[in-house]
Structure 1
Amino acid sequence: MWTVSPPSGLFQYAKKLFLSEQAGRAQLAEFVRKNVANFISMANLVVGLSSVLCSLNGQYHYACWLILTGFLLDLADGAVARQLNACSALGAKLDDFADFTSFGLATALLLQAHGVLDGLLVIAYVLAVFTRLCFFSSGIPFTYRGLPCPYGASVLATTYLLTGGNLVVMRIVAMVMILFMVYQGFYPHDKVLESQFWKKVVFAGGVLMMLFSASHFASLYYLIWSTSYIIFPRALWSYKV
């Protein structure tokens, strides 16, 4: 019986095709590893822009929940970048821009400026967030200068939800958050997903509250979480593995 052997060129072509597919998959996996944290920051940016649109259309309730979603995303992106060894200058800039959008512009719109004084407060809040993002470095590892703006935004968003949008209370809280952000005291780096187990549970609880809990209980949960960081930064939230 005669057997016909395939041309050697066909084997070479199949081998090259297989190797190129392997190389393509490896490049795709490396691209995802390097950029997954950037995708999370982009999601935070999109959430912030969506919150801005909601506020401009008078849908402040939805705007608040989008800000709280950005709060969770902001805690996750840095942890993912460090875990995958994918920190970069681009990622840091993207994270700052997303934070400014979600926790600066979007949060300030909750104050609903109806006059000159209200407008000045909105501008002051945005400038406080801008200043905080520009000059947060303390020179000490795992330490910030001034209150991280996601926590100020979380307090404002939950205050709006719990008070039904009482603007007098909102503006008082905003002034307090401005003072905390421009204050040059030290706050611990909030590596919630890289620290003690109970902090990871708090984060998971925030996700579950967002998805399944009633609005009032979820708002109270985030308010307690954020104010505990503001009032007891070192006693509770110092970075510990």
Structure 2
Amino acid sequence: MLFDKIKSSTFFILGPCVMEDQELLYRVAEHVAYIGQKFKVPVIFKSSFDKANRTSIHSYRGPGIEKGMEMLKNVKEKFDLPVTTDIHEPYQAAIAAQVVDILQIPAFLCRQTDLLVAAAKTGKIVNVKKAQFLSGQDMFYPAQKVIEAGNKQVILTERGNSFGYNNLAVDFRNIYDMKKHGHPVCMDCTHSVQRPGGAGGKTGGDRTFVPMMALAAKAFGADGYFMETHPDPDNALSDGPNMVKLTDLEKTIAPLL
């Protein structure tokens, strides 16, 4: 089972921020599959069918859940990869669960009881991102909602805390604290370098710090690493400043193993 592999090995969640087109997903997935085979670690392909929390209403959101699940299913079948995506409303859980192996709960929504319960009831692994306003200790309660809904397959993910306006800071003690809850803990190395809403109607950031975030998380005992990646991040349709360039992914991952 995938969750058993995640519990027993360093794991990676990798892929482009948003589904731009099928060709992009295939290109990135091919490299993600290669990474898994080369380093002999579990890799999960990630991309979003809808970026429901974009800064501007004019920003690209994605192809939607119906087309998005079709695109993820194609990736899963073509490259034999487990896949994940984020959901924003309870009704989306059952639809996405027909394809994905892990349901991701966005950080801003990690206290939404109905969303967590709906995800739990699918029987899929539930990856709950820590909100920008919560501590690692606080994450006991979102995890508890999933467990008490009948699902013990929980991952908790650190992605930084709000630090004034348009900035995030990572308190790596949160990784240590979340591990005490008894679940695998993942470090979101790319969203943690964001500057939310800090780029004139869109989120900015600096991918330079991604390898450092990952290594610091390793020192604090992270079990897995989440990194968004793109062949041409400067021209990506979402979160480009923070994504690792696809050709740099291997050298970013190697020191973590």
Task: State the TM-score, normalized to the length of structure 2.
Answer: 0.28
Structure with bigger strand share is 2
